[in-house]
Structure formats: structure tokens, C-alpha cells
Amino acid sequence: MTEVLRRGRASLAFSFFAQGAAFALLVTRIPAIQDRYGMSDSLLPVFLAAVPILAGVGSVTTEHLVRRIPPSRVLRWSQPVALLALLAVGAGNGIAALAVALGVFGLAVGALDASMNMLGVSLQRSYGRSIMLSFHAAYSLGGIMGASLAWAGAHWHLALWVSYLPVVAVLLPAVLTGSRWYVDAADTEPAGQAGAGGAGAAGSVVFKALLPLCLVMTFAYIGDSTVSNWSAKYLQDTLGSSEQLATVPYNVYMVTTLLGRAIGDVGVRRFGAATVVRLGSLVAALGFAVVAGAPGAWAGMLGFTLLGLGLCVLVPQTFAAAGRLFPGSSDAAIARLNIFNYVGFLVGSPLVGALGDAWSYRGAMLVPMALVLVTLVYAGSFAPGEDRYGGGHERPRTADVGRGGNGV
């Protein structure tokens, strides 16, 4: 069984990596996509908003699918569809073709995001210690690779399909091969304990109990989308940096996110999930405060660095906490929670933009700071209590996630 779990963990980590790379290749080439299809500035936000909305639909659909089929099967087929849809975005002709490609991409991303995290939570439960952050570290690494390849494509003025084709050609067979070793909860847990695919699982998820986790997920992604959408503009327009320097904060943010997630599981095992979530929230809030008050570009860069270190722990621990809160129906809880990933993504960028235009971009940075601090109100429910890891308290088959109501 140990070898089965080890293979399952490695194959799932690669799936996270591939998804990070694919998503980064899409979002970092948005200007090139707009140019290729001759899309107006007024139409672009409609297309961009459609992707997370459809991803939410994909996540809801996955909740129903996993009552009948295991999450591994959903992931096995949704990830290749997402990769092929990415290629279609780069190779299509006409707005209609783009709409179809982005629609398929959004639906597939919702399904694979939900199913990946379902498998991650069930694997963590089987391992009996915190490993969830390591999967999201793989996602961050994939995002860095995808953004780097996108930069190379833009630098060499490559057509979109030329940039996307080699990546899809490598990742597609790799994820299909790796999918042979995905491990479902039913493969490792006694009957009645698995959170996947069980009849009536969704009926035991009480949304009122899940709501605090949904809020934390939303606030975390509002913070994340603020960095991804506004860091370059903020550094250049508000802090007076050069255009070249303005491209650096997001890369720094991604690198620090990777570093934080790479070591985060150790912190959870040693100090507990609640402490890590509190510390992450405080560091992220400090990062936004530094960005808002930065006298110049380099101080702003420090703020974005702190944001990466702080926000990176929140989303993985939120998924993990949902698994603990509903141990017999974790798949349904994760599918519903995953929707608020896209809610935060949809709300964050327009919110900061509207506040920046109406008030100031410095002032706008204080709003995600305040929202991240709200996480402190719910951090106590991440405390693993008697199931805490570290200090000789590890218990087999127990996930290191929060007890009670909730959980980048």
C-alpha cells in the first residue's frame, strides 16, 4: 500500500503541475489572444469572465459525477480536454471558435480543479500527515514554467499555436500515463470512511457549516487575483517603475508562493494548521499594507514578496479543512468549495479596478488586505485538536485539517 500511495502522490503532483502550466499559458498570453482574434476591449472582459463562470459549472457537475464514478476518472479525462482546449484557443479562427474553445476550457478546468483537490484530500487522509501544500507547490512550479514559456513565445513573436503545441504534445501523453496511478479514497480507506463517490454524500454537506470556508477561499483568491491582474500596472503607474521592472512582481510572487508551499507542510505538522493559517493571513495583510504605502518600486516589490509567502498557505488548507469537516462526504464539500475559487477570481480584479478609478490604487490595496484579515476570525476552526500532527501526536489515516467550520 505504501508504494501505491507513493505513486498516487507523484502522479497527482504532476497533474497539479500540468494544470498550473496550462493555466499560466492561457492567462499570460491574453493580449496575444486578443490581437489574434481582433477582439475589442469591451468584448474581452466578457470572454474572460465566462471562463471562471463555466469553471464553476464544471465544479458543480463534478459533485454529481463523483456520486457515480471515482474522482480519478473525472480527472483522467478532464485534464486532456483542458489541454486540447488550450491548443484550440491558439489555433482557432474567428470569435465563435474562440468562444467554444474557452467554454470547453472553463468547464474542463472546473472539473479537474475539483477532482484534483478531492484526490489530494483523500491522499492526505491516507498518509496521516499534511501533504496538501506540496500538491499546490507543484501547481506553482507549473505556473512558473508556463509563464516563462509564455514570455519566450512573446519575446520571439511566436504564433500562439506554435507556443502551445509543444507543451500540449509533452503534457498530454504524460498526464494520461500518470493517470494510471491515481489513488481514490475508496482504494485506501475502509468502507464508510471514503469521501468519494458514495451515494448520498452530497446530502450530508451542510452549506451553513461550509460557508466560513467559502468566505476564506473567496478572500484568498481576491488577494491572488489582485496580484496577478494589478501588480504590473500598480508598480508602473503608481510607483513609477519602468515597464521592464513592472513585469517582475508577479514572477516574484509566484516564486515565493512556490517556496512557501514547499515548506508549508512542515509548518503544519510542527505547529498545526490554525497557526499556519493565522501566520499566513498576517503576512499577507502586511504585504498589502507595504504595497499600499510603498514609496517606490523596490518597496512595492517587497510587499508582493510578502503576499506570496502569506497567501500561499490559505487555499490548500481550506480544501484540507473541508475534507476534515465532512469526512464522509469530502468530495461533495470540495466541489462546492471550489466554486468560490472562481468567485474570488471574478470579484477581485473588477473590485480593485473600480476602487482604483473611483478612489486611488493605493487605497484599493487596503480592501483585499482587510478581507484577508477576516480569515483570522475563522482560523480557530483549522485547529486539528486531538488529531494534531507533530510532537509524537501523529495518528494514522487522519488528515491534518481543521475541525469545525472552515479553512493560496
What structural domains does the chain harbor? Answer: 2-181+194-387 (1.20.1250.20)
Per-residue pLDDT of the chain (408 residues; tens, 9 = 90+): 689 999 999 999 999 999 999 998 998 888 889 889 999 888 988 998 899 999 999 999 999 999 999 999 999 999 999 999 999 999 999 999 999 999 999 999 999 999 999 999 999 999 999 999 999 999 999 999 998 898 888 889 899 999 999 999 999 999 999 999 999 987 765 544 444 443 334 446 778 888 989 999 999 999 999 998 889 889 988 999 887 788 788 888 989 999 999 999 999 999 999 999 999 999 999 999 999 999 999 999 999 999 999 999 999 999 999 988 888 889 999 999 999 999 999 999 899 999 998 999 999 999 999 999 999 999 876 866 443 333 333 343 333 333 333 334
What does the pLDDT read at residue 31?
Answer: 83
Q: Is 229 left (phi over 0), alpha (psi -120 to 50) or beta?
A: alpha
259 C-beta neighbours (distance < 10 Å), count: 16
pLDDT at 1: 63
Residue 191: Cβ within 10 Å count: 7
51 dihedral zone (left: phi>0; alpha: psi -120 to 50; beta): alpha
Residue burial 73-89, b: 16+ Cβ < 10 Å; e: rest: bbbbebbbbbbbbbbbb
Contacts with 300 (C-beta within 8 Å, 6 or more apart), sequence order: 234, 235, 239, 241, 249, 290, 291, 294
Comparing CA positions, the residue from 8, 27, 20 lying closest to residue 119 is: 8
What pLDDT score was predicted for residue 127?
A: 93
Whole-prediction pTM value? 0.87
Note the pLDDT of residue 406.
35
Three-class SS of residue 327?
coil
pLDDT value for 267: 95
Residue position matching grid coordinates 488577494: 223
Sequence-separated (6 or more) residues with CB below 8 Å from residue 395: 128, 387
